[in-house]
């Protein structure tokens, strides 16, 4: 597995708004050590863009598939890409 930074873009659907999904995603991302952001989308999904080594992004992705205790994740649509290095830290938008 490469340590070269990559970008993960994910759209998480299910019961993912109003259950602290963004907050716990931010905590998890900061604990893992990846950068980027998370936000709610108008249609009820949560969008995540994160950058870091692939192994760390895979850890974040495992969290996104289950979410916090009150969430019910139905699907995670993901895309992988090249990191841009544009983020400092991980934040809620």
pLDDT digits (tens, 9 = 90+) for 27-62: 999 999 999 999 999 999 999 999 999 999 999 999
Query: What totals of helices (H) and strands (E) does the chain contain, helices first?
Result: 2, 5
Tell me which H or E stretch contains 28.
Answer: helix 21-32
Choosing from 20, 22, 30, 93, the catalytic residue is 22
Choosing from 15, 20, 39, 40, the catalytic residue is 40
pLDDT value of residue 2:
52
Provide DSSP, 43-63. TS-EEEEEEEEHHHHHHHHHH
Percentage of residues of the chain with pLDDT beyond 70: 98
18 touches 71 (CB < 8 A): no
- CATH number for the region 5-92 comes to 3.30.70.100
Annotation says 40 is catalytic: yes
Q: Where do the structural domains in the chain lie, given as residue ranges?
A: 5-92
């Amino acid at each position: 597995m490469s340590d070269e930074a990559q970008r993960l873009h994910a759209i998480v659907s299910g019961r993912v708004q109003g259950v602290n999904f963004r907050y716990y995603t931010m905590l998890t991302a900061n604990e893992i050590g990846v950068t980027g952001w998370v936000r709610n989308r108008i249609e009820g999904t949560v969008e995540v863009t994160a950058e870091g080594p692939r192994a760390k992004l895979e850890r974040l992705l495992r969290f996104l598939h289950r979410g916090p205790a009150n969430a019910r994740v139905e699907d995670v649509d993901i895309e992988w890409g090249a990191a841009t290095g544009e983020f400092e830290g991980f934040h809620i938008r």
